């Protein structure tokens, strides 16, 4: 659908924002929207919006009417969720953060299916994660599980010290994508792996920089 | 220290990564590093590294020796944490995600001091957040608390529906910065407020896009 061309990361990062905003619009009964209106709600420019959609080919707004909300949503759903197939994912680490983020895959699927959660802590193993019926498994069973069930994505909620070794193991087992909460920047060692880093401390430090150093 | 010039957001976002990496280097006894080595570990280019540091003026690498790790760290610490003063912060929402992220301000300070947490749920109010001794207060007391204690940052761990109204209240009470986990994009309505959005669902959708649409 994207004509085989590589779409830049900033465009990819805007797709979920378009998707969320348009879903809200559709829910309130809006059927069409101009690039100018979309831009105003996303904090960007109309020209940027048109360029973004042009990356994906065959969506055109109509002069004086704008884009069809349904058409845009159908395009975005196909780009973000394919034909509705859920990507099998595992999670490593069931501490406080792990418990909190697992629901973004288990309750809201966001296009994924959480197949197992692993932890080394004996007091967690055997319990269920969050309010799901997905059992937390012993980390010792990780390799066998991956060989049998072939998950494609791993959610890493482990300390930096464990993350590097774990990543090597997981890449070797065929994991293609990481949702990475650890402070190990795996994309340096594994450039072909797809990584979304969520570095919460970094995010706070950036906020602090702007509060301390910028005049507003 | 930054010569008054506005530093671009991508540079600001790299500062915590430099900081974390250089701290690890210093801990392993490394005293100097070239822009080339730094770039390799951060997945960027030597020229980018030099440009980044040039934004902040007076740090120069020495030909054949590189940058002093101590000098860079002193600069980064000053930029990210000022003179060590902690920014007073409050958090709204003490659900599962709220409990998990509060430790990034309470245990690791990251330059902040968590002064209070608010929730509307009676079963949470009166308990302590995480393993701290910070009590969860009734959301009804938010306005009075802010008037008295003048926090500068608010962490929003609330649903989208509550976030918009809450943001209006908080901006009116003098909150300058938001660490925003809600799906309300406040920077559109409040362009002068400093916002770090952590949209976990968006991050998963971007990852899904790349796994579904990109050849690697």
Residue of B nearest to A9 (CA): B206
Higher pLDDT, B65 or A115: A115
Helix, strand or coil, per DSSP, at residue A156? strand
- B156: nearest Cα among A175, A184, A207, A186: A207
Interface test with A, best of B42, B204, B212, B213 (most A CBs within 10 A): B204
pLDDT at A155: 98
Q: With 90 as the cut, is the pLDDT of residue B60 above it?
A: no
pLDDT computed for residue A7 by the predictor: 87
Give me the pLDDT at residue A91, please: 98
The per-residue pLDDT for range A18-46, each reduced to its tens digit, is 999 999 999 999 999 999 999 998 888 99
**pLDDT tens across B80-96, in order?**
999 889 999 999 999 99
The pLDDT, as a whole number, for residue B216 is 66
With a cut of 60, say whether residue A1 has pLDDT above it. no
Q: What does the mean pLDDT of chain A come to?
A: 92
Instruction: Provide, as residue numbers in chain B, all residues whose Cβ is less than 8 Å from the Cβ of A93.
Output: none
Q: What is the largest CA-CA distance in chain A?
A: 63
- The rounded percent of chain B whose pLDDT value lies above 90 is 76
Looking up tokens 């779409």, which residue turns up?
A7
CB spacing of A13 vs B188 below 8 angstroms: no
pLDDT at residue B98, as a whole number = 95
Residue A204 to chain B, least CA–CA distance (Å): 7
Least confident of A127-141, B3-17, B89-103, B202-216: B3-17
Closest in A108, A177, A209 to B12, CB measured: A209
A112-119, strands of its sheet edge to edge: A136-138, A112-119, A87-92, A153-156, A177-180, A194-197
pTM of the model: 0.91
For residue A109, pLDDT over 60 is answered with yes
Task: Give the pLDDT band of residue B74 (cuts 50, 70, 90).
Answer: very high
Contacts (Cβ under 8 Å, ≥6 apart) of B95: B119, B121, B124, B157
Choose among A13, A41, A96: nearest Cβ to B206.
A13
| Separation between Cα atoms, residue A190 and residue A76, nearest integer Å | 28
Percentage helix, strand, coil for chain A under 3-state DSSP, each rounded to 5: 45, 15, 40
For residue A200, give the chain B residue with the closest CA: B104
């Amino acid at each position: 659908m994207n004509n085989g061309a590589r779409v830049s990361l900033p465009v990819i990062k805007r797709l979920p924002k378009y998707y969320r905003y348009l879903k809200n619009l559709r829910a309130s009964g809006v059927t069409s929207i101009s690039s100018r209106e979309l831009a105003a709600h996303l904090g960007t420019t109309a020209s940027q919006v048109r360029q973004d959609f042009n990356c994906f080919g065959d969506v055109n707004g109509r002069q004086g009417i704008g884009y069809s909300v349904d058409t845009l949503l159908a395009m975005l759903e196909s780009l973000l969720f394919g034909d509705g197939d859920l990507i099998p994912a595992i999670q490593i680490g069931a501490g406080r953060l792990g418990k909190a983020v697992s629901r973004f895959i288990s309750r809201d699927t966001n296009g994924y299916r959480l197949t197992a959660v692993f932890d080394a802590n004996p007091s967690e193993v055997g319990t269920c994660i969050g309010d799901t019926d997905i059992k937390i498994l012993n980390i010792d069973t990780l390799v066998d599980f991956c060989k049998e069930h072939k998950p494609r994505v791993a959610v890493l909620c482990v300390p930096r010290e464990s993350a590097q070794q774990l990543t090597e193991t997981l890449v070797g087992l065929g994991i293609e994508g990481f949702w990475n909460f650890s402070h190990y920047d795996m994309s340096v060692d594994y450039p072909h792996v797809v990584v979304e880093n969520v570095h919460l401390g970094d995010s706070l430090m950036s906020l602090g920089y702007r509060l301390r150093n910028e005049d507003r």
